[in-house]
Amino acid sequence: MVNRGDYISDSEWQRFQDFSKDRETPCIIMNLQTIRENYQRLRGLFPYSEIYYAVKANPDPEIISMLAEMDSCFDIASRPELDKVLALGVIPERISYGNTIKKARDIAYFYEKGVRMFATDSKEDLKNIASAAPGAKIYVRILVENSVTADWPLSRKFGCHPDMAYDLLILARDLGLVPYGISFHVGSQQRDIGQWDDAIAKTKYLFSSLEEDEGIRLSMINMGGGFPASYTTPTNDLSEYATEIRRYLEDDFGDDLPKIILEPGRSLVGNAGILMTEVVLVSRKNNTALNRWVYLDAGKFNGLIETLDESIKYPIVTSKDAPGVKEAEVILAGPTCDSMDILYEDYKYRLPVDLKVGDKLYFLSTGAYTASYASVGFNGFLPIKTHIM
């Protein structure tokens, strides 16, 4: 049993209980006020930066609208994401096309809609940008190694070696584009703050060498996401990230900081969601088996995909939790007919022994990478519903 108070206050929990009482499971309940506070806190801790919300973390229109009202900018990866954000009244000047993997006609579409800032990490893509988005601002994403300390790594697939980034920024200039900056992503749910030190040092090297060798003055660093939400594996507080990262920036850039962009996803919306699910079946695989299998109406295909490899360990609260309640280890699984739909088997959650069919489980901190990161109806199970509180 997790200590619920470590994740959510009693009054917030009560409000959640009242709101969720008669709702059908499975569903995700998002607390807009928590996102608002997270945004303000991030603003306060990184006052020198601009925030581009990574829409993929949770693309709910109400979340986008609220962040837009709070002056957030947006990191967008596809045409449908762009259309959605524009339809909600966001102006293209507040949008960055952050996906390095895109078709030439997607670039043309973004350009036509007024977007002028593009990420890249390859020559082929850069040439496409030069033809379809003449004069656009280019930032190059560099590779950073982050598979050990990030709970959801984003390494290998994105970014290029700094030597290639150097060449690409020169090529950008030669193709009539604006060589604008460098980006990186140290890996999502990055627990090692030192990873930013490394990435900022590589960035500094590129700023200096491009200016000295080529007279190219870059003006922006996009430090990506990676800031944590609260799961069961402990992390430093966000304020420690802020202090350390500020120090790394000053060590390398002194007082003359370039424009800094952050692209938070998980840290803005993660702890604002609670996934409510119901026990469908409790069983044992033989008469003397020690472990119970607890099957839920939510699983890997409808909201809990980040349990892949048991990467993200959500805090789980049950409707049977009470002080002194007797608990035992369980294996947790989803409802579909696919054996991949096991949530936690190596890592054993301890849940009340009198857990019964129909009891509720509450997965806390499920506001990020859940609702839209799911199948459309595998086995007939519908995509999970979101309610905004």
Question: In terms of residues, how long is the chain?
Answer: 389
Q: Which of 50, 60, 75, 121 binds ligand PLP (CB under 6 A)?
A: 75
Q: Which of 224, 258, 335, 367 binds ligand PLP (CB under 6 A)?
A: 224
Work out the number of other CB atoms within 10 angstroms of the CB of residue 237: 11
Q: Which of 26, 159, 179, 265 binds ligand PLP (CB under 6 A)?
A: 265
Q: Which of 26, 59, 92, 98 binds ligand PLP (CB under 6 A)?
A: 98
Count of residues of this chain found to bind ligand PLP when the rule CB under 6 A is applied: 16
* Closest to ligand PLP by CB, 264 or 273: 264
Are 295 and 279 contacting, i.e. CB atoms less than 8 angstroms apart? yes
Between residue 268 and residue 307, which ones bind ligand PLP under the rule CB under 6 A?
Answer: none
* Residue of this chain nearest to ligand PLP (CB atom): 225
User: Least distance (Å) from ligand PLP to the CB of residue 250?
Assistant: 23
* Closest to ligand PLP by CB, 56 or 204: 56
Is residue 59 close enough to count as binding ligand PLP by CB under 6 A? no
Q: How far apart are CA 205 and CA 6, in angstroms?
A: 41
User: Least distance (Å) from ligand PLP to the CB of residue 372?
Assistant: 12
Binding marks (x or -) toward ligand PLP, 174..213, rule CB under 6 A?
A: -----------x--x-------------------------
Is residue 120 close enough to count as binding ligand PLP by CB under 6 A? no
Q: Which of 34, 267, 302, 386 binds ligand PLP (CB under 6 A)?
A: 267
Work out the number of other CB atoms within 10 angstroms of the CB of residue 289: 10
Phi/psi of residue 114, each to 5°?
105, 0
337 in catalytic set: yes
Q: Which of 202, 204, 266, 320 binds ligand PLP (CB under 6 A)?
A: 266
Is residue 56 close enough to count as binding ligand PLP by CB under 6 A? yes
The token pair that represents 225 in the structure block: 């996401």
Q: How far apart are CA 370 and CA 291, in angstroms?
A: 27
Q: Which of 59, 153, 162, 226 binds ligand PLP (CB under 6 A)?
A: 226
Selection from 126, 67, 62, 128 nearest residue 95 by Cα? 67
User: Least distance (Å) from ligand PLP to the CB of residue 186?
Assistant: 8
Residues 6+ apart with CB under 8 A from 324: none
Stretch that binds ligand PLP, among 38-46, 49-57, 123-131, 201-209 (CB under 6 A): 49-57
Per DSSP bridges, beta strands 342-352 and 327-333 are antiparallel
* Closest to ligand PLP by CB, 98 or 335: 98
DSSP secondary structure letters along 47-85:
TTEEEEEEGGG---HHHHHHHHHTT-EEEE-SHHHHHHH
Identity of the residue numbered 200: I
Q: How far apart are CA 167 and CA 119, in angstroms?
A: 15
What are the residue ranges of helices labelled H in the chain?
A: 10-20, 32-45, 61-69, 79-87, 104-112, 123-132, 162-174, 194-214, 238-253, 266-269
User: Least distance (Å) from ligand PLP to the CB of residue 98?
Assistant: 4
Q: Which residues bind ligand PLP (CB under 6 A)?
A: 54, 56-57, 75, 98, 185, 188, 224-227, 263-267
Active site residues: 337
